[in-house]
Amino acid sequence: MHFALISKVLGLLLVVFSFTMMPPVAVSYFYQDGSEGPFLASFVISLLLGLMLWLPFFRHRAELQTRDGFLVVTLFWSVLGVIGGLPFLISADTPVGFTDAVFESVSGLTTTGASVLSGLDTLPKSILYYRQQLQWFGGMGVIVLAVAILPMLGIGGMQLYKAEIPGPMKDAKLTPRIAETAKALWYLYLFITVACASAYWLAGMTLFDAVTHSFSTVATGGFSTHDQSMGYWDSAAIDWITTVFIIIGGTNFALHFAAIRGLSPLTFVRDPEFRFYIGMVFLYILLVTLGLLAFNVFQGADETLRHAAFQVASFSTGTGYTSTNAAAWPGFVPFLLVFTSFLGASAGSTGGGMKSVRGALVFHHSIRELRRLIYPNGAFALRFGRHTVNDRVLQAVWGFVGVYITIAVVFTLLFTVTGLDLATAVSCVAASLNNLGVGIGGVASGFADISPAAKWMMTLLMLLGRLEIFTLLVLFTPLFWKQ
C-alpha cells in the first residue's frame, strides 16, 4: 500500500472539495440569508485538513496501483461524507447532531437523497443550494467511479465494460486515464444538467429551483428544496421533464458518450443493457398503471400515466423524487415500486441498485441453465449484445448479486431489530443500499425519526451501495493488507 501517495491524493481531493463551499457562500450573499458562516468555517477546516494530508507528500512521485484504488475510493466517499456534513453540524438552521449531519451529507454525495431534515421550504437558500450541490458533485464522482474505476478494479463483473471506457487511453497509466475519462464525462454531465435546468425553467420553475433540481435530477439524487418534492408544482410538464431526465441519468454515460460521438440514437437501441433497462421501465409502468386504474386512484388516464411513469422512473433508477404521495398508493403498488429499486438503473449511470446489466446477465444465464438441462452436453455460449460473456465476468456478477442480496436480507433483519416493522425495514434497505432515498411505511415522510443505530446502518449501506459493496468489503479481508 502506498500510504504516502494515498495521503497525497486524499489531501488534494479535500483541498478541491473545500472550494465547493464557496458557491453556497455566494448564494448566501446573493439571497442575503445570513447563512454564509457555516460554509466559510467548513471551507477553512476542509482546506486545512487537505493541506495537512497533502503537503508532507506533495513531492511524492509514484503511480497509484489498482489495489490502492479500493482504499482511495472508499476513503474519498467516507471522508468527504464526514467533511460534507460540517455545514449541517455548524449551522443553527439545521439543528442536527453528528449522526444526522453525516447521514445527510453521505446521502447527498452518494446521490441517495434520503433526508433527516424537514421544513425544507423555510431553510436558508444557501443550505438548500448546498444539499443539491452535494448531489451534483456526488453524481460527478459516481459517473467516474462507475464508468472508469469499477471496470478497472473489476468490481462485480464491470470489467465487461473495460474496453468501452471513453477517452484516448487503453494502455495509459491509472491516474491520467481516469483524468481523461473524467473530463470527457463531465462535459457531457454539464451539458445534460444545463439542458435539464433550461427545461425546468421554461416549464415554470424559478431559476433557483430549476438549477438546483437539475442538479439532483441528472445525479438521480432526489433531494429537493421543497418538502413536497416535485409534487410542489403539481405540473404535468415538470413531471414529464423529470421523468425523461431521470431516465437519461439512469443510462450508462459511456453510452451517451458513444451516441453523441457517433451522432446515432441507434447506439442506445443496439445496447443490450439499455434495451433491458428500458424494457423493465415500460413493464413497471404498465403494472403500476394497471394497479392505479384498478384502485381508481386518479381521475383520468392522463394523470394516471403521468404519475405512474414518474414514480416508476423515480424508484427504478433510484432517484427518489415524488410527484404525489406514492407511499400511500393502495395495495401492492408501493411495494412494487420499492422492489424495482433493487434491480435499479444502468451500470455507468448515476443511478442505484444492482444495475440492469447484472439483471440481464442473470436472466440470460438462467435461460442457459434451462437449456443445459435439456441438452446436458450442448455448448451454450452466453451472448450479450456483440460480446460473448466469459465465465470470469459471470462469476463476478453472481458473486456481486449473491452478496448484495445477502446484505439486503441481513440488514432488513437488523432494521427489524431496531424496532421497525418488516415493510419499513425493507424500505430502509432499499432507500440506502439501492441509493433510492425515498421510503414507504414508517419512513414515508423521511428518516428523522428512526433510531441512531438505524441511521448509521443506513449510512453504511449508502456507501456500500455506491461503492458496489466489494470496493469496501475487500478492505476487510486480511489478504488485502498483506504485502
Cα–Cα distance between 259 and 261 in angstroms, integer? 6
Q: Does 409 bind a second copy (CB under 8 A)?
A: yes
Q: Which does 405 bind (CB under 5 to 8 A by kind): a second copy, K ion, none?
A: a second copy
Q: Does 233 bind a second copy (CB under 8 A)?
A: no
Residue 28 corresponds to which cell in the numbers above?
448566501
- Using rule CB under 8 A, residue 22 touches a second copy: no
User: Counting contacts by CB under 8 A, is residue 328 touching a second copy?
Assistant: no
Among the listed residues 38, 69, 166, 222, the single contact to K ion using CB under 5 A: 222
d(CA 308, CA 325): 12
User: Exposed, middle or buried: residue 170 (CB in 10 Å: 0-12, 13-18, 19+)?
Assistant: exposed
Sign of the Cα pseudo-torsion (280, 282, 288, 291, in order): negative
Q: Is 314 helix (H, G, I), strand (E, B) or coil?
A: helix
Please count the other Cβ atoms lying within 10 Å of the Cβ belonging to residue 98.
12
Helix ranges restricted to H, 235-271: 236-249, 253-261, 266-270
- Interaction partner, residue 113 (a second copy, K ion, none; CB < 5-8 Å by kind): K ion
Q: Determine the interface stretch with K ion among 83-91, 106-114, 358-366, 474-482 (rule: CB under 5 A).
A: 106-114
Closest CA to 261 of 357, 187, 199, 195: 187
Residue 310 or 384 having the CB closest to K ion: 310
Q: What angle do CA 304, 433, 422 make, to 5 degrees?
A: 70
> Which option in a second copy, K ion, none does residue 376 bind, with CB closer than 5 to 8 A by kind?
a second copy
222 binds, among a second copy, K ion, none (CB under 5 to 8 A by kind): K ion
Q: How many positions of this chain bind a second copy (CB under 8 A)?
A: 55
Residue 334, all three cell numbers: 408501493
Give the DSSP letter of residue 149.
Answer: I
Candidates 211, 396, 443, 467; binder of a second copy (CB under 8 A) is 396
Residue 415, C-alpha cell as written in the block: 432494521
**Considering the rule CB under 8 A, would residue 153 count as an interface residue with a second copy?**
yes
Tell which positions 254-293 bind a second copy, by CB under 8 A: 291
249 binds K ion (CB under 5 A): no
Give the per-residue contact string, 451-470, with a second copy (x = CB under 8 A; - = no).
-------------------x
Pairing type for strands 387-388 and 383-384 reads antiparallel
Assess 372 for contact with a second copy (CB under 8 A): yes
Binding of K ion by 351 (CB under 5 A): no
Which of 65-73, 83-91, 134-142, 271-279 is the region at the interface with a second copy (rule: CB under 8 A)? 65-73
- The torsion angle over the Cα atoms of residues 78, 83, 86 and 88, rounded to 10 degrees, is -40
Q: Give whole-number Cα distances, 357 to 126, 252, 343, 385, 397, in Å.
A: 38, 10, 9, 11, 9
Q: Does 186 bind a second copy (CB under 8 A)?
A: no
Q: Are 217 and 247 in contact (CB under 8 A)?
A: no
Q: How far is the CB of 166 from K ion (least distance, A)?
A: 24
Per DSSP, the three-state class of 95 is coil
Q: Please tell me whether residue 139 binds K ion under the rule CB under 5 A.
A: no
- Of 162, 314, 340, the closest CA to residue 249 belongs to 314
Identified binder of a second copy from the candidate list 92, 263, 373, 381, rule CB under 8 A:
373
Contacts of 152 (CB under 8 A, 6+ apart): 66, 69, 162, 165, 174, 177
Which of 281, 344, 277, 272 is CA-nearest to residue 308? 281
67 binds, among a second copy, K ion, none (CB under 5 to 8 A by kind): a second copy
According to DSSP H, which parts of 115-252 are helical?
Answer: 125-144, 150-153, 174-202, 207-218, 236-249
Residue 367 grid coordinates: 435461460
Q: Quick one: 191 or 363, whose CB is closer to a second copy? A: 363
Among 33, 303, 332, 460, binds a second copy (CB under 8 A): 332
Only one of the segments 124-132, 168-176, 268-276, 407-415 lies at the binding site for a second copy (rule: CB under 8 A); that segment is 407-415
**209/468 with CB nearer a second copy:** 468
State in angstroms the smallest separation of the CB of 173 from a second copy: 17
Residue 75 lies near a second copy (rule: CB under 8 A)? no
Return the beta strands (E) in 382-479 as ranges.
383-384, 387-388
Number of residues near K ion (by CB under 5 A): 6
Residue whose cell numbers read 463551499: 21
Q: Is 473 in the site for a second copy (CB under 8 A)?
A: yes
Binding residue for K ion, selected from 69, 81, 84, 113, defined by CB under 5 A: 113
60 binds, among K ion, a second copy, none (CB under 5 to 8 A by kind): none
Are 86 and 57 in contact, with CB atoms under 8 Å apart? Answer: no
Smallest separation, CB 249 to a second copy (Å): 25
- Site of grid cell 415500460: 282
One residue of 249, 437, 439, 441 binding K ion per CB under 5 A: 437
* Site of interaction with K ion (CB under 5 A): 113, 222, 318-320, 437
* Site of interaction with a second copy (CB under 8 A): 66-67, 70, 153-155, 291, 331-332, 335-336, 339, 342, 362, 365-366, 368-376, 391, 394-396, 398-403, 405-406, 409, 412-414, 416-417, 419, 421-423, 425-426, 470, 473-474, 477, 479-480
